[in-house]
Amino acid sequence: MPIVIAAPFIGGLAVPSYDVNQFSLRQAIIPDALLGRVNASSRVIIRGAVPIGALLGGLIGELFGLRAVMIFAAFGSFSSLIWLWGSPVAALQSVPEIMSREPSAVIR
């Protein structure tokens, strides 16, 4: 029970740190002319996954019970970090420079 209580609290502390890093990196490397489209696409992908996850959680709960949902959610949360291990994002020490922030340099 303490883990169930602590997990949302820890997640609530981690989300602002994640958001600041994510938005800062995105603003630094995406040309201004594309920034709105990239932000909108990211939000659709991230927030669009929420109803899919809710439906999947409900289906797993109906078929296998609440314990299976909790185990699936725990492994799913940690498995989302796997892509970072091989990603160049994990090795970043500073914000990379982009070649040009001029709109004329952006592919339309």
Helix residue spans in 30-108 (DSSP H): 32-64, 66-79, 82-85
At position 64, the amino acid (one-letter code) is F
The confidence band for 99, taking pLDDT boundaries of 50, 70 and 90, is low
pLDDT digits (tens, 9 = 90+) for 68-98: 998 888 888 788 778 777 777 777 777 776 6
What mean pLDDT comes out for the span 60-75? 91
Nearest CA-CA partner of 14 in 26, 24, 6: 6
Tokens linked to 2 = 């303490």
| C-alpha span between 46 and 40 (Å, rounded) | 10
Which pLDDT value is given to residue 98? 64
User: Each residue of 27-56: pLDDT tens digit?
Assistant: 888 888 899 999 999 989 988 988 998 999
